[in-house]
Structure 1
Amino acid sequence: MGNTFHTAVPLLQTGRLTLREYRRADFGAFADHLTDPESSAHLGPSDRYTAWRIFSSQSGLWLIDGAGWWAVENSHTGQLVGNVGAFFREDSTAMEIGWNTYRAFWGQGIAIEAAAAVLDHVFDVRREPKVRALITAANVSSRRVAERLGMTYEMETELHGKVIQSYMRER
């Protein structure tokens, strides 16, 4: 973290996914995910106005910290399938990782594949010493992703007034 402004979002590739910058055309799928009660059950659904604020603020994190969120697309079809991020919260010096797979693509291993690529970037390129994931206890799928990434349960904490679990992995 620092006061240096960054502009480039690193392009990351896996066997079947491309992790790239957000584009305005991505907003529809992003908003559909956040406004869908089933997709957003663990965080709570948003309206489109709030979804736009989240979308644009996630994009802006790259300018502030040189870290943020990637759109995740299927490399073969170009279809947007989710998003994944490595970012800093306002009051934290520890990098956090997060992931979302859009509902039509659940159960295909997209979250683990995208998050593993981001973890490699965080540890190998950014040289971060550790990374955290904040996950609600009821979100069994995300807890499994964290565990498959080699993250271990660290503690219970609070995020926006909700009790949440922190998982951590060190380089």
Structure 2
Amino acid sequence: MNHAFAISIPRLHTERLTLREYRSDDFELFADHLMNPESSAHLGSADRQTAWRIFCSQAGLWVLQGAGWWALEDKQTGQLVGNVGAFFREQSAVMELGWNTYRGFWGKGVANEAAAAVLNYAFEVRREQKVRALISSGNESSRRVAERIGMSYETETELYGKVINSYMRERR
């Protein structure tokens, strides 16, 4: 019996990146990112088993919500450079954006480029009225990404018992 599901995960393209579905062979780099204390300082590091659960959960959001996370692939090299998401948290009607760039690609504008593409997708394709990003107060690089794509600080909130900053942008 075939248990395969056909879901359509849109591919997005920027000048340097292809935003594509997760593949099982993406997991090694994903896990390395989450298991590295420097890379995951603002996310909270994870062991391999937890990284696998997060990886599968992010991929599975597409089935449950029709929204989720993309792997970021460098168009020239085919190398995986991070991930970016447009998704809904449990019991939230506001789409959230998230981004992670793998350590070797920090400071190269990858997160800015990917986040801008996903913001455009949220507003122009999904027709969302507003989007938010939840960013740890000490995560200056993610704060700068949010501001570069036109998001503004909204409020301080709590996420899993941790104080976090909410950035918001409304559709224009």
Same fold (TM over 0.5): yes
* RMSD after superposition: 1.0
Give the number of the structure with larger relative contact order, counting CA–CA contacts within 8 Å between residues 6 or more apart: 1
Deviations 1:100-126 (Å, cap 9, x if unpaired)? 000000000000000100011100000
* Residue 153 (structure 1) shift: 0.3
Once the two structures are superposed, the pairs formed by residues 1-171 of structure 1 within 5 Å of their partners are: 7-171=7-171
Equivalent AA in structure 1 for residue 19 of structure 2: L
Q: Distance in 2 between matches of 1:6 and 1:124?
A: 24
Structure 1 residue runs of 4+, over 4 Å off?
none
* Residue 13 (structure 1) shift: 0.3
Contact 1:6 1:64 (8 Å CA) reproduced? no
Q: Secondary structure at the match of 1:164?
A: strand
Q: Distance in 1 between matches of 2:22 and 2:43?
A: 21
Equivalent AA in structure 2 for residue 140 of structure 1: E
Contact 1:16 1:75 (8 Å CA) reproduced? yes
Contact 1:94 1:131 (8 Å CA) reproduced? yes
Q: Secondary structure at the match of 1:43?
A: coil
The sequence identity of aligned pairs, in percent, is 72
Contact 1:135 1:142 (8 Å CA) reproduced? yes
Contact 1:6 1:63 (8 Å CA) reproduced? no
User: What is the count of residue pairs matched by the alignment?
Assistant: 167
Deviations 1:83-139 (Å, cap 9, x if unpaired)? 000000012110000000000000000000001000111000000000000000100
Q: Distance in 2 between matches of 1:6 and 1:166?
A: 34
